[in-house]
Amino acid sequence: MGRGAAGRVLRRGQAAAGDPAAMRHLAAELGPGLALVLVFASPTADFAATMAAACQAFGDTPTLGCTTAGEIAGGYVEDRIVAVGFPSRDFAVETIAIADLDRIEPSALVDRMIRARQFLAAAHPGFVHEFAYLMVDGSHFREDALMAALGYGLGPVPLFGGSAGDGARFGQSYVAQGARVLTNAAFLTFVRTRCPVKVFSFDHLDVGTGQMVVTGADPARRQVREINAAPAAIEYARLLGKPAGQLDPFTFAAHPLVVRVGGRYHVRSIQRVENGTDLVFFSAIDEGVVLTLATPRDIARSLDDNLAGLAAAGPPDSILACDCILRRIEAQQKQQVREVSEVLARHNVTGFSTYGEQFGAMHVNLTMTGVALYAPED
């Protein structure tokens, strides 16, 4: 695919994060007649300036953006601004801004969700396929509470999303609607389309037998202080046969932890060590949780197999994906970035690396989660 086109369904462009004319160039690449533009911006870009420029470049077209932990544009790219356009001939959207994740009112939020869905269905009766896309700040640890609230209003609509990032610094991330830049916020977009869709989530892990119990935690901060009644980082390192001082993101990617919920295993990824003894996680954690060590399969081969599975009834035209930062870190550690990028390019994947992914009504980690879009049936 050329640089300016993700496929016949979605349009894609990318520009250097430091290019002051980036949004003007991207608007020219994506072209007119868009129902929505998504902007995935490297944290090396001036995000506020980028989104202000996007408003000027795309005019009245709704524009949503976030900072990333890396970008995907037919492969892993760095220090880029990636823009994705949804042509209005095939898509219609309604976005709900959720400005303060500390004060979610579930009943009011569900009412807004139902009204947005009803409006889209009535206004675009010919667009019979639908999904929801969530863009959420990943630095305030509010995704789990948000997903619990959203679950009441989704109905049959499949949802996927990603938590905005700040590279590998794990500092402040940002989301934006037009020039309105926010933290501790999210944007939920309902999408109706003529294109058949398949929302997916997959990982590359085999569950092992090594288990541990969280015996001390601060759930609000996703912080585990004790595992098996011992300092968390020290006990985790002991079980791996490593000194606690050598724990880093490469270790967390190579030795992921999973928890069994509702008959399925879900990853509970470690973000960092704090105070030398505590472990901070990417998603919900609490005392009494039983964690099991998992082993990653070959990430490039597993990714290729999973993406190929989306073509069982015909290949998708475009794939929009949210990919956990730990998957990128693992690919870097194992010197498989080129192999993974080739797989992403072959399957025409666009998106960004995240601090967490959302699928259905859950906040998950160490997955690739997204939507496959197929050519319109007519």
What is the per-residue pLDDT for 145? 93
Whether the predicted pLDDT of 227 surpasses 80: yes
Report the pLDDT averaged over residues 319-327. Answer: 96
> Which is it for strands 223-227 and 230-231: parallel, antiparallel or unpaired?
antiparallel
Residue 4 has a pLDDT of 46
When pLDDT is averaged across residues 21-38 and rounded to a whole number, the result is 97
Q: CB-based contacts of 21: which residues, under 8 Å, 6+ apart?
A: none
pLDDT: is 322 or 361 the higher one? 322
Q: What is the mean pLDDT of residues 10-37?
A: 97
Instruction: Give this prediction's pTM.
Output: 0.91
What's the pLDDT at 1?
35
Query: Residues with Cβ < 8 Å from 135, sequence gap 6 or more?
Result: 38, 64, 66, 161, 162, 164, 175, 186, 187, 189
* pLDDT class of 2 with cuts at 50, 70, 90: very low
Task: Look over the chain and give the mean of its residue pLDDT values, rounded to a whole number.
Answer: 94
User: Are the C-beta atoms of 59 and 32 separated by less than 8 Å?
Assistant: no
Q: What is the mean pLDDT of residues 303-316?
A: 94
H-assigned helices in the chain: 22-30, 47-58, 106-123, 143-150, 232-240, 249-254, 299-309, 325-333, 337-346
Query: What are the pLDDT digits (tens) for 106-145?
Result: 999 999 999 999 999 999 999 999 999 999 999 998 999 9
Mean pLDDT of 77-91: 97
Residue 163: half-sphere exposure toward Cβ, Cα within 13 Å: 30
- pLDDT score at 266: 84
pLDDT tens-place string over residues 239-291? 999 998 899 988 998 899 999 887 788 888 898 999 999 999 988 899 999 99
Give the residue-averaged pLDDT of 291-299. 93
* Per-residue confidence band for 7, with pLDDT thresholds at 50, 70 and 90: low
d(CA 212, CA 215) in angstroms, rounded, equals: 9
Confidence of residue 6 (pLDDT cuts 50, 70, 90): low
What region does 91 belong to: left with phi over 0, alpha with psi -120 to 50, or beta? beta
Average pLDDT over every residue of 53-80: 97
Cα-Cα-Cα-Cα dihedral sign, residues 282, 287, 289, 291: positive
**What pLDDT score does 215 carry?**
97
50 touches 39 (CB < 8 A): yes
Euclidean distance between CA atoms 167 and 174, whole angstroms:
12
